[in-house]
């Protein structure tokens, strides 16, 4: 029993060690080994994307609340203007980022 | 065989350490292959834990009493299902179950999330590795399930109070909840370590938090039902420290689930959310610690063991480490948005959070106060029912009311005009119900009456939401009303799933109010043929029967039940005697009236040698609503959890665009 | 425009209110001290007596009262107890119990239905039976 147990244990340990070493065995000599991480530009873009989603969601929610009667017509008229402005700003904020990054990428390639 | 188990655990410990140390190094120095290697270590840890699990399970099923654990918690006569459940019936085995679920969920979480953000995962892996290292270390060095001994002829058997179907599901369900909270914690810490301030960690763990929270909720209800039906003192919750141990993280997680919605909608409360998730996780660890050490004596009490000190140390490490990290990253977490109005949905969510956290902390104080008082004054001052019930009412009743107010209020700002109109119907329903109940005599307990009135208000508000939404949908698309309703729910799963969960909580509140504020209790000693009356019931004690079960002798007193004079059935109530464990257990007789939700609860207190029996009988109105609430709760959670194709696509788009921007 | 956020104010007020309620309650109600028989001497007021059952329990808890003795967990000082109400199934000589009540003329008169036993731990290591 003990011999079998030890054998299985050894196999397990080896298999695990192999699995852990796998990335190095698969790519012994890779072109680059850096972990992708968002630079300042991407972080800003992510922030803007989240703001855009938030503004769009708020707009949808306002429409929904108005249709179900939670927000009166007067309140709706008051709130819809600034909200639409917010959405437009968020969309606009994302555009120049895309343009400038694309230009930069095109320039380097 | 035990050597294989021990070896597997050592391998697991090594892998967890690797994930922690190497993973941390890889994330800090941004090495891709090394980070991937650490991920693989986490996956491999699952395999080695599974091996250890199989070894223990096999030993249990084989009745291999050379395993000290098997000998301590099973016996030859123990029915097989209970032999399996003995896996988590003891300290060592339950730790192994924790580790198994932890490694499994960690691996799954990493696999599901790694495409979205590699750098976040790189930091999540070492955090998961840290928690896994602790549990693996406990299993290897402090509390091993693979200790061996000279095999005795038979084992000590499982504690009779654990020999029921609940043992099969209540602990694993709770563990799923406790362990599940590790995932949002790890992602939150990973995001902080990676210096991220976006909400990717929330988006990635939203469903995990929901699943863990649901499991904790269902697990607690199962525990309450177990206490009600099996322990049988007539109640379902005793404010036992071990029961509180599961309630506290659940309350913190409830607060968290609500406050992340604010972060989602308005980008606010980032610091609060991280603090909440740390609190929830620390409370989950604390809960595990409470049930594993004898620090606070309770009905579930466990003895002092070195495990307690280690657990406490780990909780302190996590708490201090997390707080230090949060403090360090505070500048980047501060948000610029401010709450616009005290009358908005954000504000109600904030009040709800404050109440939940306040309740959670008062329960925590009640649990540790006895320990502190003993340390300071030399005598233990115990805190029990009255303390907890007081604070449950102070914080719970406003929470109940808020559940009704919240849905009626819009985000950002609600004018008092539209508020008034939204409130009209639900408030009217609440008031009407309150008055009717008062006339029917519910005024005997004004707390119960208040609870009922608020509950009616909340149900009115939720119903109103569904009606308004369906009407709006119907106006948009035409077609049958049922289609409009199902489309409404399908398109707003989180909102309406949430409403269903609220309805479940209201059912729970009604059930609790009814069975505690309006119950009746009677104690009588009866000889065969005698009758006792309680409420509208009449009970006649007929005879005592004796039956030999698999591993117990069963004594049952048979009673004839009459309601309003009509014979409605027979009840059996008595005790079981377990020779192997030298214990007796209470086997209560319950008659549930499904029309009124009422229970007739008969406890056989004492079987006297002269043939008489001392009975304690309770009538508990509306108690079955509590169990119904559990079902509704589960349904609501499932609706909220259900993935929505639209939302998945929107999120995938968001992160794909960013990768395109990065030029990857 | 640096308008102070109402959020902070709400939080501060809520915390203060909660604290006030808490302190009010604790000062009015308080908990029950758990003490052992050796600390019982001269104590007035309601306490929770903790210790091991000793002597031979006699009587009926559902009529005149169950009479037994409780001694210190690790000591010999014991005190007689009279109890009425539900007796937990696990009650027996040597078991650690907790019961609330008052000391009257050397006899501890227990509060009805307040007797609790400490479950034999399912996590005990074999040695400490």
B619 or A4, greater pLDDT? B619
Question: Does the pLDDT value for residue B412 go beyond 70?
Answer: no
User: What's the total number of domains in chain C?
Assistant: 1
Give the chain B residue whose CA is nearest to the CA of C7: B339
Name the phi and psi angles at C120, rounded to 5: -60, 130
In angstroms, what CA-CA distances link C12 with B506, B621, C7?
Answer: 29, 40, 9
Give the chain A residue whose CA is nearest to the CA of B7: A9
Give the chain B residue whose CA is nearest to the CA of A47: B198
CA distance B409 to B401: 13
For residue A60, being part of any structural domain is answered with yes
Give the chain C residue whose CA is nearest to the CA of B353: C11
Give C105 to chain B, closest Cα distance, Å: 23
pLDDT for B365? 86
pLDDT digits (tens, 9 = 90+) for B220-252: 999 999 989 988 888 999 898 889 999 999 999
Q: Which residues of B touch A1 (CB under 8 A)?
A: 1
Contact A91/B at CB under 8 A: no
pLDDT for C129? 21
Q: Are B532 and B526 in contact (CB under 8 A)?
A: yes
pLDDT for B400? 95
Average pLDDT along chain B: 89
Q: What is the CATH number of the domain that holds C111?
A: 2.40.50.140
pLDDT digits (tens, 9 = 90+) for A29-61: 888 778 777 777 778 888 888 888 888 888 888
Give A77 to chain B, closest Cα distance, Å: 13
DSSP character at residue B169 = H
Q: Are A50 and B85 in contact (CB under 8 A)?
A: no
Task: Tell if the CB–CB gap between B292 and C39 is shorter than 8 Å.
Answer: no
Of B48, B471, B661, the CB nearest to A16: B48
In angstroms, what CA-CA distances link A96 with A102, B663, C84?
Answer: 10, 16, 82
Of B294, B394, B608, the CB nearest to C21: B394
Contact A14/B at CB under 8 A: no
Q: Which residues of C touch B72 (CB under 8 A)?
A: 126
pLDDT for B427? 92
Q: Which residues pair with C97 in a beta bridge?
A: C51, C117
Q: How are beta strands B537-548 and B531-534 bridged, if at all?
A: antiparallel
pLDDT digits (tens, 9 = 90+) for B159-209: 777 778 888 899 999 999 999 999 999 999 999 999 888 888 998 899 999
Give the chain A residue whose CA is nearest to the CA of B33: A23
Task: Tell if the CB–CB gap between B657 and A49 is shorter than 8 Å.
Answer: yes
pLDDT digits (tens, 9 = 90+) for C100-129: 999 888 889 998 888 888 755 433 322 222
Contact A106/B at CB under 8 A: no
Domain that holds residue A83: 38-108
What lies within 8 Å, CB to CB, of B353 at 6+ separation is B255, B258, B259, B272, B276
Torsion, Cα B229 B233 B234 B237, to 10 degrees, reads -80
Q: Are B43 and B106 in contact (CB under 8 A)?
A: no
pLDDT for C72? 87
pLDDT for B582? 76
Give the chain B residue whose CA is nearest to the CA of A49: B654
Q: Looking up tokens 């014991």, which residue turns up?
A: C78
- Taking one residue from B and the other from C, the number of pairs with CB-CB distance under 8 angstroms is 110
Q: Which pair of structure tokens corresponds to residue B522?
A: 């009677």
pLDDT for B658? 65
In angstroms, what CA-CA distances link B606 with B18, B523, C16, C57?
Answer: 58, 11, 50, 15
Task: Tell if the CB–CB gap between B301 and C122 is shorter than 8 Å.
Answer: no
Torsion, Cα B231 B237 B239 B245, to 10 degrees, reads 90
Give C116 to chain B, closest Cα distance, Å: 8
pLDDT digits (tens, 9 = 90+) for C55-90: 888 888 888 889 999 988 888 888 999 999 888 877
Chains contacting chain B through 3 or more C-beta pairs under 8 A:
A, C
Give the chain A residue whose CA is nearest to the CA of B407: A70
Question: Does the pLDDT value for residue B449 go beyond 70?
Answer: yes
Task: Tell if the CB–CB gap between B11 and A13 is shorter than 8 Å.
Answer: yes
In chain B, positions 92-131, which contact chain C (CB-CB < 8 Å)? none
Task: Tell if the CB–CB gap between B606 and C116 is shorter than 8 Å.
Answer: no
CA distance A16 to B578: 46
Give B116 to chain A, closest Cα distance, Å: 11
Domain that holds residue C46: 34-120
Of A16, A50, A70, the CB nearest to B15: A16
For residue C69, being part of any structural domain is answered with yes
Task: Tell if the CB–CB gap between B585 and C89 is shorter than 8 Å.
Answer: yes
For residue A53, being part of any structural domain is answered with yes
pLDDT for B216? 96
For residue C9, being part of any structural domain is answered with no
pTM: 0.91
Task: Tell if the CB–CB gap between C5 and B339 is shorter than 8 Å.
Answer: yes
Of chain A, the end-to-end C-alpha distance in Å amounts to: 63
Task: Tell if the CB–CB gap between B11 and A9 is shorter than 8 Å.
Answer: yes
pLDDT for B460? 94
For residue C42, being part of any structural domain is answered with yes
Answer whether C touches A (≥3 Cβ pairs < 8 Å). no
CA-wise closest residue to B339 among B329, B349, B330: B349
Of B387, B586, B608, the CB nearest to C29: B387
Q: Which residues of B touch C35 (CB under 8 A)?
A: 379
- Taking one residue from A and the other from B, the number of pairs with CB-CB distance under 8 angstroms is 166
Strands of B520-526's sheet in order across: B520-526, B613-620, B598-607, B589-593
Q: Which residues of C touch B587 (CB under 8 A)?
A: none
pLDDT band for position B268 (cuts 50, 70, 90): confident
pLDDT digits (tens, 9 = 90+) for B291-308: 766 555 543 333 456 787
Q: Are B387 and B395 in contact (CB under 8 A)?
A: no
For residue A19, being part of any structural domain is answered with no
Give A88 to chain B, closest Cα distance, Å: 17
pLDDT digits (tens, 9 = 90+) for C31-49: 788 888 888 887 778 888 8
For residue A63, being part of any structural domain is answered with yes
For residue C13, being part of any structural domain is answered with no
Contact A93/B at CB under 8 A: no
Q: Are B412 and B341 in contact (CB under 8 A)?
A: yes
Question: Does the pLDDT value for residue B357 go beyond 50?
Answer: yes
Percent of chain B with pLDDT over 70: 96
User: What's the total number of domains in chain A?
Assistant: 1
Q: Looking up tokens 């993935």, which residue turns up?
A: B643
Element (H, E) at C107: strand C107-110
* HSE (side-chain half, CA atoms, 13 Å) at B333: 21
Q: Report DSSP letters for B375-433, one per residue.
A: HHHSSEEE--HHHHHHHHHHHHHHHHHHHHHGGGSPSS---HHHHHHHHHHHHHHHHHH
Burial annotation C19-51 (CB, 10 A radius, 16+ → b, else e): eebbeebeeeeebbbbbbbebbeeeeeebbbbb
Phi and psi based region of residue A66 (left: phi greater than 0; alpha: psi -120 to 50; beta: remaining): alpha
Q: Report DSSP letters for C49-82, one per residue.
A: EEEEEEEEEEEETTTTEEEEEEE-TTS--EEEEE
């Amino acid at each position: 029993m003990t011999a079998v147990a030890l054998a299985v244990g050894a196999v397990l340990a080896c298999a695990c060690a192999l699995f852990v070493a796998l990335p190095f065995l698969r790519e012994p000599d890779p072109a680059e080994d850096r972990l992708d991480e968002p630079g300042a530009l991407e972080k800003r873009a992510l922030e803007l994307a989240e703001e855009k989603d938030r503004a769009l969601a708020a707009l949808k929610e306002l429409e929904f609340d108005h249709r179900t009667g939670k927000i009166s017509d007067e309140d709706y008229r008051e709130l819809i203007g600034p909200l639409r402005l917010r959405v437009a700003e968020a969309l606009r904020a994302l555009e120049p980022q895309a343009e400038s990054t694309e230009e930069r990428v095109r320039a380097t390639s | 065989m035990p050597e294989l188990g021990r070896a597997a655990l050592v391998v697991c410990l090594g892998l967890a350490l690797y994930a922690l140390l190497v993973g941390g190094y890889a994330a800090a120095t941004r090495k891709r292959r090394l980070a991937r290697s650490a991920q693989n270590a986490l996956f491999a840890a699952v395999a080695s834990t599974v091996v250890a699990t199989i070894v223990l399970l096999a030993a249990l099923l084989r009745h291999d009493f050379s395993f000290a654990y098997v000998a301590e918690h099973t016996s030859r006569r123990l029915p097989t299902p209970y032999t399996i459940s003995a896996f988590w019936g003891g300290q060592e085995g339950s730790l192994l179950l924790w580790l198994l679920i932890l490694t499994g969920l960690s691996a799954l979480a990493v696999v599901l999330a790694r495409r979205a953000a590699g750098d976040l995962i790189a930091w999540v892996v070492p955090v998961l590795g840290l928690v896994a290292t602790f549990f693996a270390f406990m299993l290897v060095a402090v509390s091993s399930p693979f200790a061996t001994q000279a095999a005795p002829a038979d084992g000590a058997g499982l504690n009779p109070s654990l020999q029921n179907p609940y043992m099969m599901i209540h602990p694993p369900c709770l563990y799923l909840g406790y362990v599940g909270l590790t995932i949002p914690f790890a992602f939150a810490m990973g995001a902080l370590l990676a210096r991220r301030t976006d909400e990717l960690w929330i988006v990635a763990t939203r469903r995990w938090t929901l699943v863990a929270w649901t499991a904790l909720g269902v697990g607690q209800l199962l525990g309450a039902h177990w206490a009600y039906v099996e322990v049988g003192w007539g109640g379902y919750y005793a404010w036992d420290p071990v029961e509180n141990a599961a309630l506290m993280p659940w309350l913190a997680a409830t607060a968290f689930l609500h406050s992340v919605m604010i972060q989602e909608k308005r980008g606010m409360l980032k610091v609060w959310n991280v603090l909440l998730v740390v609190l929830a996780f620390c409370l989950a660890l604390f809960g595990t610690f409470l049930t594993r050490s004898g620090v606070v004596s309770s009905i579930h009490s466990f003895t002092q063991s070195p495990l307690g000190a280690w657990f406490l140390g780990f909780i302190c490490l996590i708490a201090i480490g997390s707080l230090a990290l949060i403090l360090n990253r505070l500048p980047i977490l501060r948000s610029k948005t401010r709450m616009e109005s005290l009358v908005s949905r954000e504000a109600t969510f904030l009040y709800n959070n404050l109440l939940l956290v306040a309740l959670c902390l008062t329960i925590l104080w009640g649990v540790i106060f006895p320990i502190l008082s003993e340390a300071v004054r030399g005598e233990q001052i115990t805190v029990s029912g009255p303390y907890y019930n007081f604070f449950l009412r102070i914080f719970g009743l406003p929470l109940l009311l808020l559940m009704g107010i919240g849905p009626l209020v819009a985000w950002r700002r609600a004018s008092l005009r539209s508020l008034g109109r939204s409130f009209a119907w639900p408030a009217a329903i609440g008031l009407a119900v309150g008055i009717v109940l008062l006339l029917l005599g519910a005024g005997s307990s004004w707390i119960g009456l208040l609870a009922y009135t608020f509950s009616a208000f909340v149900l009115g508000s939720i119903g109103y939401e569904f009606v308004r939404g369906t009407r709006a949908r119907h106006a948009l698309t035409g077609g049958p009303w049922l289609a409009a309703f199902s489309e409404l729910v399908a398109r707003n799963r989180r909102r309406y799933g949430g409403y269903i969960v609220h309805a479940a909580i209201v059912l729970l509140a009604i059930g609790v109010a009814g069975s505690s504020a309006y119950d009746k209790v009677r104690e009588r000693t009866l000889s065969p043929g005698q009758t006792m009356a309680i409420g509208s019931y009449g009970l006649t004690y007929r005879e005592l029967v004796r039956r030999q079960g698999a591993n117990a002798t069963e004594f049952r007193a048979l009673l004839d039940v009459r309601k309003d004079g009509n014979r409605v059935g027979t009840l059996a109530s008595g005790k079981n005697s377990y020779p192997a464990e030298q214990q007796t257990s209470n086997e209560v007789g319950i008659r549930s009236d499904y029309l009124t939700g009422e229970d007739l609860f008969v406890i056989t207190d004492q079987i006297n040698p002269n043939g008489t029996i001392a009975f304690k009988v309770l009538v508990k109105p509306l108690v079955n609503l509590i169990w119904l609430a559990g079902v509704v709760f589960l349904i609501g959670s499932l609706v909220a959890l259900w993935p929505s194709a639209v939302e998945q696509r929107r999120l995938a788009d968001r992160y794909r665009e960013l990768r395109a921007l990065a030029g990857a | 425009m640096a308008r102070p956020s109402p959020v902070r104010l709400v939080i501060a007020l809520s915390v203060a209110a909660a604290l006030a309620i808490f302190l009010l309650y604790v000062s009015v109600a308080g908990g029950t001290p758990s003490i052992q028989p050796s600390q019982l001497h001269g104590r007035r007021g309601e306490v929770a007596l903790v210790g091991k059952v000793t002597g031979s329990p006699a009587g009926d808890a559902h009529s005149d009262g169950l009479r037994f003795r409780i001694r210190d967990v690790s000591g010999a000082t014991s005190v007689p107890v009279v109890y009425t109400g539900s007796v937990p199934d696990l009650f027996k000589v040597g078991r650690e119990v907790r019961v609330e009540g008052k000391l009257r003329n050397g006899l501890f008169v227990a509060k009805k239905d307040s007797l609790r036993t400490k479950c034999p731990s399912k996590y005990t290591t074999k040695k400490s039976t």
